[in-house]
Structure formats: structure tokens, C-alpha cells
Amino acid sequence: MNAQSEKPKILIITYYWPPAGGIMVQRVLKFCKYLSKLGWEPVVLTTKKGTYPIVDYQLLEEIDPSLKVYKTKSFEPLAIYARLKGGKNETVPVGMRGMEKDSSFLTKLATYIRANFFIPDARKGFVSYAYKSALKIIEDENIRAILTTGPPHSTHLAGLKLKEKIGLPWLADFRDPWVNIYYNQFLPRTKSTQKKDLNLQNKVLKQADVTLAVGRTLMNELTPEAKKVELVYNGFDEDNFPESLFVENPQDKFLLLYPGNLLPGQDLKVVLNAIQSLIEKNESFKKDFCFDFTGNLDNETRHLFKSFPHRENVKVSDYVPYNEIIKKMVQKSSLLLLLAQDIPQKPPPPGKLFDFIAARTTVLGVGPENSDAREVVLDSGIGKMFLSTEQMQIEDFLLANYEKWKENAQQKTFLTMTDKMKNYSRENQTKRLVEILNTLV
């Protein structure tokens, strides 16, 4: 046998796979890239045609041609939901805010059905097909271990069935909480639904040989019920940030970039208030400053921008492909990180935070105390975090970075890549995954 065939194989079952876009795809895509370099051969099982919140065809180019990708059917109630609402494009919102005040009766009914009839989530139609396909793949490919990744957490139910049937080592990868995922608080879930969902989560945690968590808070949340929990962060891929991007050219504007969508609880208002205050107090700042919001807008955020009194200092763009957003991160003067406030569970570090590290660009963060993201920002040394009540401190931070930019002839200065920053690379985090796998097989 050649060296490639001698590697143990791991079956990765994932609902999200290119052309699905966004951060939910990056973790598995990068695991596959680096697993093969670190002694394991990944084999992917996904859906033939899923319903995705974001589509990014450019990500198809990142898939290694030698990677085996199996695709199976899936029943898609969200596609029906989108058609009922008159949707015509190929993207379907995920999570969202539940029943909004101006929702029609049909939308409210569909949301109620989605929240209570599809447990744990509306992608559960993938489970039975994935299970049957996986059994054949495991036999044909001589699979040694299984990894399921969620959300959608229904994917873990396929892993659970496989564990009960054949007993292979199984890792359940949690990219977000399950029962405490942020959008559940906005959904009209009954007590019966919540109980059933909790039981499913705990059954997965008890049966999985190892549960992977993307943040320390999530790890602590899952530990009481899990057999074993290990921390494996997301990370940045150094190959996505070639040195050719890091050119220190003069800039016409001092640019603050927010890339991505806003989730419930993320406080953009305090940042806009700080920007408004600086614009109205400092004529030079007003002339030089631009806030670039690049992402999909909900009605609430759209209203925030429309009511902002200095709209000439704001640029709003739709979602752009991942490779384009990387270029933006590197080119902008500063990056904005917003964490959800006042929610029951602190969310894991957002995936884009690790790309912020790779962009070697100063980060202004706003979020609660003791969050995982705050820990990563401070440990990596890429910026500062502020509470949503600290508008004056946010102003001071913005102004200090602006003045530093002015003193440097309006030229951006990149941060130095340190060993602490490198620790958060995709390759180093995949090394951690391989260490865990090697204890199981």
C-alpha cells in the first residue's frame, strides 16, 4: 500500500459543505485540509442539495481534488418554508430572531411548526439518509473514526445511531451550543419541546467518546453530561493570508470594518454613538473616518443606519465571498468585533475573530466581561475589549488609533505575528484534534 492508503480514515458527517458559505463551513473545510497533512485521511459525507443561509461558490476551489466527498439526499422543510414566504433565491435564513413583531400569520405559524415539530432543528431530514449512507461508506472505506459537526445539531443524531450500531470511536463537534443556542430564546418553543431537545443533547454527550467544543464556556457547559470534552478552537488558515496582502500603503480614509451579520444582542448602537460623538467633536476625524459594514442586514440594523445622522461616514455593503472579506480585513485600519450582550449563555468566540488575528489588524471589541472572545483578544494581544456601557472608552480607543494612523502619514501599520497568535492557526488546532484522535484509535 502507498503512504496515503496507510493513513487511518475518519468519516466527517457535515450538513454544511461548499457551496454553502459563511463561517459554518470553514471549520470542517480546514480540518480536511490539515488532517491529511497530519496523518489522517478525511472522508466527507454531506447533503446533495442543502438549504443554506449563505452560498459561496468560490469555496469549491478550496476542496482538495483527492478528497472523497459522498453526498446523500435530505428532506428539506426549510425549502418549503422559504417557498411559502415567497422566497426565490437559493439561500434560506438560519436561526434568526424567531417571530418578529411585523410577522404575518403564515410566518408565525411556520415559525411555530419549525420550533416544535423539527427537534432539534429543521435539518433533521438529513439524519436518516446520512446514517444509511454512512454504514456503506464505513465498510467500503475502512473508516476508523467518525466526526459529526453541528449546528445543525441534528447531524449528531446520525453519529449517535452509528455509535449504537457499530461502536466506532465518535467525536461530536459542537461549533455552537445546542439547547442554549442564541436563537432558541426567540423561538416559541413549548416546555415539551425544550425537554425533548435537552434529552437528545444529553444522550449525544453521554454516548460520544469525545465532545469537541470551540470555546471554554461551551466546554464548561457541556462537561457535566459528557463522557469527555476537549477544547479545539476554530482558527485562521495562514494560506488565506499570503504576505503579498500585507502592503503598508497610505490610505485616503481611516476605515473601521465590521464583517458579517448582526445577531440578537450585539450592540451596534454604542459604537455608532461613539462614532457620532467623535465626528461632531473632531472635524479632522469627520473628514477622514469611514465605517464599513459588510454583511446581510436585518430590518433593525437597516433602520439604525438610516437614522444615523452622518451617513456620509458610513458604507454598507452586502455579504461578499470569503476571499474578498479577507482582503478587506487586511486593508482596513481597524476591525470591529461585537459580542452578544444579555443572553443566558456566553457564545463561543466567533470564527471571524481568528481571521482578525491573521489580518494583524487592531481590533476594537465590544462585549460582556469574562467572554471567551475577550480571553482570545487579550491573549493574542490584537486589541482591546469594552463593555457596551463604556462609550467614552470606545471613543478614546478609536481616537488614539486614528491619531496613530495620522502620525504615520495615513499609513496602516500591521501587528507583528507572535507565537501566541500562531497558536490559533487552523493547523495548530487540527494538530490538537489529531492528538485526540490518536488516543481513540
**Predicted confidence (pLDDT) per residue in 18-53, tens digit:** 999 888 899 999 999 999 999 999 999 999 988 888
Q: Give me the residue spans of the domains in the chain.
A: 3-235+426-440, 238-420
pLDDT at position 102 is: 46
Prior bond of 321 cis (ω within 30°): no
Domain 238-420 in the same topology as domain 3-235+426-440: yes
pLDDT in tens, 174-194: 999 999 988 888 889 999 999
Prior bond of 264 cis (ω within 30°): no
Lowest mean pLDDT among 8-22, 112-126, 280-294, 338-352: 338-352
The three-class DSSP label of residue 367 is coil
Q: Please state, in angstroms and rounded to a whole number, the distance separating the CA atoms of residues 125 and 134.
A: 15
Overall size of the chain counted in residues: 441
Lowest mean pLDDT among 262-266, 311-315, 410-414, 418-422: 262-266
The CA–CA distances, whole Å, from 255 to 67, 246, 391 equal 39, 16, 19
CATH architecture of the domain with residue range 238-420: 3-Layer(aba) Sandwich (3.40)
Contact 28, 214 (CB under 8 A): no
What is the pTM (predicted TM-score) of this model?
0.86
The three-class DSSP label of residue 413 is coil
The three-class DSSP label of residue 131 is helix
Question: Which residue, 152, 191, 193, is CA-closest to 173?
Answer: 152
Contact 104, 98 (CB under 8 A): no
Q: Please state, in angstroms and rounded to a whole number, the distance separating the CA atoms of residues 95 and 151.
A: 10
Q: Which three cell numbers stand for residue 138?
A: 464505513
Cα 389 to chain centroid, rounded: 26
pLDDT in tens, 248-304: 888 899 999 999 888 767 889 999 999 999 999 999 999 999 999 998 877 888 888
Cell 443533547 -> residue: 201
Query: What is 3-235+426-440's CATH topology?
Result: Rossmann fold (3.40.50)
Q: What is the largest CA-CA distance in the chain?
A: 71
Share the mean pLDDT of the chain: 90
Q: Please state, in angstroms and rounded to a whole number, the distance separating the CA atoms of residues 433 and 27.
A: 12
Confidence of residue 93 (pLDDT cuts 50, 70, 90): low
Q: Which three cell numbers stand for residue 195?
A: 425537554
For residue 407, count other CB atoms closer than 10 A to its CB. 9
Lowest mean pLDDT among 101-110, 240-249, 260-269: 101-110
Say what the alpha-carbon torsion angle 440, 173, 336, 313 is, to the nearest 10 degrees: 140
Contact 403, 8 (CB under 8 A): no
Q: Please state, in angstroms and rounded to a whole number, the distance separating the CA atoms of residues 240 and 41.
A: 22
Q: Please state, in angstroms and rounded to a whole number, the distance separating the CA atoms of residues 212 and 217.
A: 12
* Per-residue pLDDT at 74 exceeds 60: yes
Lowest mean pLDDT among 76-80, 89-93, 363-367: 89-93
pLDDT at position 297 is: 78
The CA–CA distances, whole Å, from 401 to 189, 249, 276, 282 equal 45, 17, 16, 14
